[in-house]
Amino acid sequence: MDNIQKKKIIIAMSGGIDSSVAAVILKKAGFEVTGVFMKFWREPGIQKWNKCCSPESEKRARRVAMLLGIPFYVLNLEEEFKKIIVDYFLKEHKKGFTPNPCVVCNKEIKFSLLFKKAQKLEADYIATGHYAKIIKSNADSKLLQGKDKEKDQSYFLWQLNQKQLRKILFPLGDFTKKEVRNLAKRYKLPVSDIPESQEICFIQNTVGNFLKRHLKQKSGEIVDTKGKSVGRHQGLAFFTIGQRKGIGLAGGPYFVLGKDLKRNILLVTRKKRDLYKKELVAKNINWISGRRPNLPLRVRTKIRYRSGPDLATIKPFCKRTLRVIFDKSQKAITQGQSVVFYRKKELLGGGIIG
């Protein structure tokens, strides 16, 4: 972390262990810290609160702020979150894609709307509890993977730019999750025993049930690779590439291989090897440096948070698109997901799988 003590900093505090420990680290380092709890959208008619912004989460964040003796604010972003994140999520699923709302949330909510709050409070920096690292310089700032390989969250940050990186701090970049938990216990934070949450924050049960409540879909045929009709589906939006459970076919296992939106057909296979491909096309490319590197380029590549990284070559394809050719075939390459590129531990950028 830069030697920039006594600077004002806004930290997003969710009431979880990571952001709470990050706030402690900043306070101990001498920053003038202010905590902000962001209240996101809550699905109407659902009694259970979102994991990310429940009253209990807010209370924990406030207790940590009081313990540290720092100012604390609640930022109501329900309307913005619904429009920018939830509506996007539903729109992409309706088109047959499988979006990653966390990537958009980082760009448009945490590092955009939170920036505006920081400016109003005349803060120099904003911080979060992400497991990632930023190396700042007078030239380009670089975004790197965090120390903890299992918890590294750089995958979700590929849409950030130089202007944002210059104003962001990630205090947990040089810590493992185990070390963070030990710090929470050492400082007696009221968050040390909170379990991990892996689900999408605004969905209370399953993605399928959420989509069924919000999207109207038409039933259609399920067809195998030989063109034979093997059943009926209740809506293409409820399926994703590689899915095995919930297809509703006997005599399996079957895997979702593709979607034909024009004919409203779900394509399935019984052969797992059919899911493997060596190429994809990426669109909406963003380079962290702000400049496209010389292509073709050898990179380490991830097509989902828990995959890879695996070696690949990226080449120009069409305007703002890239062709990604993997050394080894990848399982269930999925439209709408993010593909990200690394040079060693540095995140170069990424795009949306088309």
Q: Does any domain span residue 210?
A: no
Using one digit for the tens of pLDDT, what is the confidence trace for 67-80? 999 999 999 999 99
Please tell me which residue in 52, 102, 201, 318 is annotated as part of the active site. Answer: 201
- The answer to whether 13 is a known ligand-binding residue is yes
Strands 276-287 and 322-331: antiparallel
CATH of the domain at 262: 2.30.30.280
Q: Does any domain span residue 195?
A: no
Q: Does any domain span residue 211?
A: no
**Residues 182 and 48 reside in one and the same domain:** yes
Taking the C-alpha atoms of residue 178 and residue 185, their distance in angstroms, rounded to an integer, is 11
**Residues 243 and 137 reside in one and the same domain:** no
Which residues span the domain enclosing 311?
Answer: 275-353
Residue 50's pLDDT band (cuts 50, 70, 90): low
Q: Does any domain span residue 176?
A: yes
**Residues 148 and 169 reside in one and the same domain:** yes
**Residues 23 and 162 reside in one and the same domain:** yes
- The answer to whether 15 is a known ligand-binding residue is yes
**Residues 249 and 104 reside in one and the same domain:** no
* Count of domains forming the chain: 3
Q: Does any domain span residue 3?
A: no
- Does residue 272 have a pLDDT over 90? yes
201 carries an active-site annotation = yes
**Residues 138 and 42 reside in one and the same domain:** yes
Using one digit for the tens of pLDDT, what is the confidence trace for 298-331? 999 999 999 989 999 999 998 789 999 999 999 9
Going from the C-alpha of 308 to that of each of 250, 311, 318, the distances in angstroms are: 32, 9, 26
**Residues 123 and 18 reside in one and the same domain:** yes
Taking the C-alpha atoms of residue 110 and residue 103, their distance in angstroms, rounded to an integer, is 10
CATH of the domain at 280: 2.40.30.10
CATH of the domain at 168: 3.40.50.620
Provide the whole-model pTM. 0.92
**Residues 66 and 173 reside in one and the same domain:** yes
Please tell me which residue in 52, 53, 102, 105 is annotated as part of the active site. Answer: 105
**Residues 160 and 259 reside in one and the same domain:** no
- The answer to whether 14 is a known ligand-binding residue is yes
- Does residue 192 have a pLDDT over 90? no
Q: Does any domain span residue 233?
A: yes
- The answer to whether 248 is a known ligand-binding residue is no
- The answer to whether 132 is a known ligand-binding residue is no
Taking the C-alpha atoms of residue 68 and residue 66, their distance in angstroms, rounded to an integer, is 5
Using one digit for the tens of pLDDT, what is the confidence trace for 85-109? 999 999 999 999 999 999 999 999 9
**Residues 173 and 246 reside in one and the same domain:** no
Sorted by sequence, the CB contacts under 8 Å of residue 5 that are 6+ apart come out as 29, 30, 31
**Residues 86 and 154 reside in one and the same domain:** yes
Domain boundary among 229, 250, 270: 270
Domain boundary among 206, 239, 270: 270
- Does residue 52 have a pLDDT over 70? no
Q: Does any domain span residue 292?
A: yes
Domain boundary among 270, 294, 312: 270
The gap between the terminal CA atoms of the chain, to the nearest Å, is 37
- The answer to whether 251 is a known ligand-binding residue is no
Beta bridge partners of 342: 300, 347
Q: Does any domain span residue 2?
A: no
**Residues 169 and 289 reside in one and the same domain:** no
Using one digit for the tens of pLDDT, what is the confidence trace for 130-175? 999 999 887 889 999 999 999 999 999 999 999 999 999 999 999 9
